[in-house]
Amino acid sequence: TAGHDVIDIRALGKHGYFTFDPGFLSTASCESTITFINGSQGILQHRGYAIDDLAKNASYLEVCYLLLYGELPNKAQYAEFSRIVSEHTMLNEQLTRCLQGFRRDAHPMAIMCGMVGTMSAFYHDSLDIANERHREIAAYRLISKMPTIAAMCFKYNVGQPFMYPRNDLSYAENFLHMMFATPCAEYTPNPVVAKAMDRIFTLHADHEQNASTSTVRLAGSSGANPFACIAAGIASLWGPAHGGANEACLKMLEEIGSVERIPEFIDRAKDKDDPFRLMGFGHRVYKNHDPRATVMRETCHEVLDSLNIKDPLLDVAMELERIALEDSYFVEKKLYPNVDFYSGIILKAVGIPTNMFTVIFALSRTVGWIAHWNEMMSDEGQKIGRPRQLYVGEIDKSFNGIEDR
């Protein structure tokens, strides 16, 4: 309960009482054993393991296994899990043709929502959600095919042929291959870049009941199929206050442009008449620091050093962070850089276009969504999610026919 008092409202609800909690600031919607966050101390743990241990020492697929099965895999379990994930990476040609029905300039997140929802029209053999094995196959399909679909969105946008997945590569290397190889040019991923990509996936893998995960759970609580639920999660992630923040953050750094202009933007962020906010700053839960941002910052430097990139945006980011962390407005409101503050700079350095940033977040978070969905489906006492509302409109009005209005 992380220091909060928990009131069980199940009994109260029957007698007509309920809590009014806009934005669910203090309402727990479920019990979970997947992810622990202590926002005031900046702690994030998956199944009891600290995020920085996982991000630095485990691969993304080990973390996927951990989230899905509750414990880190041994060597044999890892080899088998990796084999199964790599076997499901191909996309059926019929689904490829669906993708080609989108406008070429469609936002890749729009294509992702559509394609993942479309998977439920295709994989009928994993839709019996009461069957644990079907749920497991659906999880494999989603984790395996998300990089393929994501890379296809990019290739489609830029007008290049799709690249087939290569199962001899790691999860991150394969994604980079599908993004950047062409039929006439191999892509050999720089190991530092591949490691950074894997870390980005891990750092975004799960974050308990954020907006998109809650959306997946709410959609799933009605018995909807996993592909439809994950499509709902992708839609929720898209917004700039959530997964869209990394794209918005990079655009903001570009708009600031130089270190000299930072004070102007800091002032704007503090001005209550200006809707501008410092993107990549603040978090609903972390009121100390975002532990993912610390690892992301280190990784950002590793990538830029390894690629020998001198990015002026990094100078702007570092100075913005320094000034904001000394500014009483940000200190008092406990606004610290979040995970999205540095991820955009890394992705830009790797050559990934801005409109793909949230797609990469969606790809990474799929395992968290599916682990939560599966946890909920395994709970026999699970109920349909049905928040109440506080009605503040008019009541008991007399009805007039249309000719009398």
Q: Which is nearer to ligand ACO, 226 or 280 (CB)?
A: 280
Q: Which is nearer to ligand ACO, 171 or 281 (CB)?
A: 281
- 42 neighbors 49 (Cβ within 8 angstroms): no
Return the number of other C-beta atoms located less than 10 Å from residue 160's C-beta: 14
Task: Return d(Cα 374, Cα 321) in angstroms, integer.
Answer: 38
> Is residue 53 annotated as a catalytic residue, yes or no?
no
Q: Which is nearer to ligand ACO, 245 or 295 (CB)?
A: 245
Which token pair is 291?
């532990």
**Is 269 one of the binding residues for ligand ACO (CB under 6 A)?**
yes
Size of the site for ligand ACO (CB under 6 A): 18
Q: How far is the CB of 280 from ligand ACO (least distance, A)?
A: 5
Q: How far is the CB of 333 from ligand ACO (least distance, A)?
A: 4
Q: Which is nearer to ligand ACO, 165 or 280 (CB)?
A: 280
Residue nearest ligand ACO, CB atom distance: 282
Residue 266 to residues 178, 190, 286, 311, 331: CA-CA distances in angstroms?
A: 39, 36, 21, 21, 13
Q: Which of 315, 333, 351, 387 binds ligand ACO (CB under 6 A)?
A: 333
Q: How far is the CB of 99 from ligand ACO (least distance, A)?
A: 26
Q: How far is the CB of 11 from ligand ACO (least distance, A)?
A: 29
Q: Which is nearer to ligand ACO, 230 or 335 (CB)?
A: 335
Which token pair is 18?
């309920």
Which token pair is 363?
């790809």
Q: How far is the CB of 293 from ligand ACO (least distance, A)?
A: 9
- The binding track of 183-202 with respect to ligand ACO, each residue x by CB under 6 A or -, is --------------------
**Is 301 one of the binding residues for ligand ACO (CB under 6 A)?**
no
Residue of 283, 305, 311, 379 with catalytic role = 283
What residues contact residue 253 under an 8 Å CB cut-off, 6+ apart? 313, 316, 317, 320, 344, 345
Q: How far is the CB of 31 from ligand ACO (least distance, A)?
A: 23
- 178 neighbors 89 (Cβ within 8 angstroms): no
Task: Return d(Cα 190, Cα 372) in angstroms, integer.
Answer: 33
Q: How far is the CB of 233 from ligand ACO (least distance, A)?
A: 13
**Is 226 one of the binding residues for ligand ACO (CB under 6 A)?**
no
Q: How far is the CB of 241 from ligand ACO (least distance, A)?
A: 4
Q: Quote the DSSP letter at residue 94.
A: H
Which token pair is 264?
């102007």
Angle at 337 between CA 360 and CA 190, to 5 degrees: 40
> Is residue 283 annotated as a catalytic residue, yes or no?
yes
CA-wise closest residue to 194 among 13, 60, 3, 14 = 60
Please give the residues from 277 up to 296 whose contact with ligand ACO meets the rule CB under 6 A. Answer: 277-284
Residue 339 to residues 342, 371, 379: CA-CA distances in angstroms?
A: 7, 21, 31
Which token pair is 179?
């993004």
Residue 259 to residues 189, 265, 293, 314, 320: CA-CA distances in angstroms?
A: 32, 11, 21, 10, 8
Q: Which is nearer to ligand ACO, 178 or 197 (CB)?
A: 197
Please give the residues from 242 up to 261 whose contact with ligand ACO meets the rule CB under 6 A. Answer: 242-243, 245
**Is 338 one of the binding residues for ligand ACO (CB under 6 A)?**
yes
Return the number of other C-beta atoms located less than 10 Å from residue 29's C-beta: 14
- The binding track of 340-369 with respect to ligand ACO, each residue x by CB under 6 A or -, is x-----------------------------
**Is 241 one of the binding residues for ligand ACO (CB under 6 A)?**
yes
Residue of 46, 198, 340, 372 with catalytic role = 340
What residues contact residue 192 under an 8 Å CB cut-off, 6+ apart? 302, 303, 306, 307
Q: Which of 61, 339, 347, 350 binds ligand ACO (CB under 6 A)?
A: 339
Please give the residues from 118 up to 147 whose contact with ligand ACO meets the rule CB under 6 A. Answer: none
End-to-end CA distance of the chain: 54
The residues that touch ligand ACO, with contacts defined as CB under 6 A, are 241-243, 245, 269, 277-284, 333, 335, 338-340
Mind telling me the catalytic residues?
283, 340
